[in-house]
Amino acid sequence: MIPMSHYLILSSILFSISLAGIFLNRKNIIIMLMSLELMFLSINFNFIIFGNYLSDLTGQIFVFFILAVVAAESAIGLAIIVVLFRNKQGINVQDIARLKG
Amino acid sequence: MINYLYIFPEIIITSALCFIIVLDLFLPSRLKYISYYLIQFSLIFCAYYIYSHFSYLNTNVSQLYDTSIFSNTFKIFILLSLAIIFYYTAVFLRYFNIYQTEYFLITMFGLLGMMIMISSQNLILLYLGIELLSLSLYSVIAFNKNSLFSSEAAVKYYILGAISSGFLLFGISLIYGLTGSLSFNEIFIHISSLEVLNNMDNVQIIGLLFALIFILISLSFKFGAAPFHMWIPDVYHGSVITTTLLLSTIPKIAVFVILIKLLASVFSGLLLFWTDMTIVLSVLSILIGNIIAISQTNIKRMLAYSTIANIGFILLGLSVGSIIGYKAAMFYTLTYVITTIAAFGLLSQLVYEKKPIENINDLSGLNSSSPFTAFLLMIILLSYIGIPPFIGFHAKLLIIQSLVETNNISLGIFAVLMTVIGSFYYLRVIKVIYFDESKNDLSTTSKLHLTGIYIMGLVLLGLLPDILGQLSQYSISNLFNT
């Protein structure tokens, strides 16, 4: 039997990796989207563990809501990136710096 | 047995949306105005329904969905503000030939999200409402798809918004693990039973604090409080001015309702901790907002920083941690929203060299070309500063009064000093309007009759501050009695 703290540490590590992936990444927006996806998966992991530990179904139900919403969110994100690509002919993170002041 | 009458306002909005989406596809372009009027009608009708069933809706005892007087006041306010915003948006989009009914429909989805947020009594519903709002805002910002600025702003808002919902979810998962429930009521009961003052080192309390910090970070992101304000200037600058009008007003009301519900009732057991956090947030917001706004040349960016400063004042009212502070904060929020609708609405009707207004210098000599417009703009800016006969004065006065009455004298002095510094950049705009050389390239998209009436209403509200005062008194005391 693996203690619950191990699971929680794993999900926190995944969360931190995804945050680092967003803030350290200087090249591509697609990598940012991948990191966001990882962030939501780590949160799902958290919910499943807590739901299992409390023997309560709510946590697992919430996971389905999150999965659905995150899928919609990445669809919109990809659409916005397509629009940006049309206007700019590239999706480099460094180039997104026209708005300043 | 579920009583659907309690969620009838949401049903009205949803069914109007589904109907108009389909109807709009079959309308020829010269009849598109029909769907616009249908949208306006459904907004007004929904507000009227809530108003006429005020006391009936208050009898709802559901643990999931709250339709108390407090929530319904804000819902009516949001619906009516959105109707005014839609008017300005329609005028603006028609003038610049980018009119599409989808803009209004996507915003209506956001409205639905806000109504769900305001009514939620459960963290799942809260999350779904916030996401529905943010998803529609992402698409509305990217609406002008040929503009590089718009798409850049949308990408920035998208990435930061997704991170902030990640933070919110992480906080919710911790709360779920520690309290075993997602319902506001049960979480409240659990936290009150902990006796926070007697066992500070309890693992549960430390975990709950962790969760509270995550949720507060996420909500201040959506609210636009410093140090989580980075997206505000860029997004306001990049999007079309009517989208800026939308972004800077009603989402703030919804987030304010959530903040007051979560902090003042659900987390009231942790009051000791969150008051300090909100003080830090508000002081930073007021400082950063007021000082950086001085160096701005773009008027949308300047108003973005002024938004940050105003958010700081709202949080200052919340940080008092008692009913008098919440009342002041609610008064300030309503005032801020009314004034900002007037400001951006008026600016969206001005045209400089056949383009929407961008820089402060575009306005120079507005007084000589159209004195009426200049006069209206001056009233709005004076109200922002807080000059006595106008409504902004009463809002600032109430906040400072609540600070002084709870012995936070130093914070009160800080607020007064920052108001003085903040008045500089508003007064500079007035100076540009009245004393700079006229350029004669300014025109307006439409007659300003409706704007004039709206701003006269603003002045009246300033002369009779009791209207808003009693409204906030009534709804806040309702929140804490039930």
Q: Any CB–CB contact under 8 A between A41 and chain B?
A: no
Tokens of B348: 């969206």
**pLDDT tens digits for B208-239?**
999 999 999 999 999 999 889 989 999 999 99
The pLDDT mean for chain B works out to: 91
Confidence at residue B1, expressed as pLDDT on a 0 to 100 scale: 65
- pLDDT tops 90 at residue B136: yes
| Range B307-316 average pLDDT | 95
Sign of the four-CA dihedral B335, B111, B23, B95: positive
Does the distance separating the beta carbons of B152 and A43 come in below 8 Å?
no
Closest by CA position to B412, among listed B334, B304, B337, B325? B325
| Range A12-41 average pLDDT | 91
State how far the Cα of B411 lies from the Cα of B416, in Å rounded to an integer.
9
Which chain B residues have a beta carbon less than 8 Å from that of A40?
Answer: 166, 169
Smallest Cα distance from A54 to chain B, Å: 7
Closest by CA position to B364, among listed B451, B413, B435? B435
Confidence at residue A101, expressed as pLDDT on a 0 to 100 scale: 56
Q: Is A92 helix (H, G, I), strand (E, B) or coil?
A: strand
Identify the band that residue B436 occupies on the pLDDT scale cut at 50, 70 and 90: confident
Determine which helix (DSSP H) or strand (DSSP E) holds B355, and give its type and residue range: strand B355-356
Q: Which residues contact B145 (CB under 8 A, 6 or more apart)?
A: A83, A86, A87, B151
Q: Are B376 and B409 in contact (CB under 8 A)?
A: no
What domain range is A60 assigned to?
Answer: 4-88
Split into its structural domains, chain A has a count of: 1
Nearest Cβ partner for A84 among B151, B180, B233: B151
Determine which helix (DSSP H) or strand (DSSP E) holds B41, and give its type and residue range: helix B33-52
Q: Are B395 and B419 in contact (CB under 8 A)?
A: no
Identify the band that residue A38 occupies on the pLDDT scale cut at 50, 70 and 90: very high
Q: Which residues contact B30 (CB under 8 A, 6 or more apart)?
A: none
Tokens of B206: 């430390």
Q: Is residue A16, in this structure, part of any structural domain at all?
A: yes
**pLDDT tens digits for B21-36?**
999 999 998 888 999 9
Q: Which residues contact B142 (CB under 8 A, 6 or more apart)?
A: A79, A80, A83, B150, B151, B153, B154
**pLDDT tens digits for B410-432?**
999 999 999 999 999 999 999 99
* Cβ neighbours of B339 (radius 10 Å): 25
**pLDDT tens digits for B334-382?**
999 999 999 999 999 998 888 888 888 888 888 888 889 999 999 999 9
Closest by CA position to B128, among listed B74, B169, B157? B169
Q: Which residues contact B269 (CB under 8 A, 6 or more apart)?
A: B188, B191, B192, B194, B196
Q: Are B462 and B391 in contact (CB under 8 A)?
A: yes
Q: Is residue A98, in this structure, part of any structural domain at all?
A: no
Nearest Cβ partner for B298 among A32, A39, A101: A101
Confidence at residue B374, expressed as pLDDT on a 0 to 100 scale: 92
Q: Is residue A23, in this structure, part of any structural domain at all?
A: yes
Q: Is residue A93, in this structure, part of any structural domain at all?
A: no
Identify the band that residue B90 occupies on the pLDDT scale cut at 50, 70 and 90: very high
CATH of residue A53: 1.10.287.3510
Does the distance separating the beta carbons of B146 and A40 come in below 8 Å?
no
State how far the Cα of B102 lies from the Cα of B21, in Å rounded to an integer.
8
Smallest Cα distance from B361 to chain A, Å: 16
| Range A71-86 average pLDDT | 93
| Range B303-326 average pLDDT | 93
- For A28, phi then psi, to 5°, come to -130, 140
Tokens of B385: 């500063």
**pLDDT tens digits for B166-202?**
999 999 999 999 999 999 999 999 998 887 777 777 8
Residue to mutate among B155, B203, B301, with most A CBs inside 10 A, is B155
- pLDDT tops 70 at residue A31: yes
- For A96, phi then psi, to 5°, come to -85, 70
State how far the Cα of B113 lies from the Cα of B111, in Å rounded to an integer.
5
**pLDDT tens digits for B32-86?**
899 999 999 999 999 999 999 988 888 888 888 888 999 999 999 999 999 999 9
Tokens of B449: 């009759």
Report domain extents, chain B.
Answer: 4-481
Q: Which residues contact B166 (CB under 8 A, 6 or more apart)?
A: A15, A18, A36, A39, A40, A43
Q: Which residues contact B275 (CB under 8 A, 6 or more apart)?
A: B319, B320, B321
Nearest Cβ partner for B152 among A65, A66, A84: A84
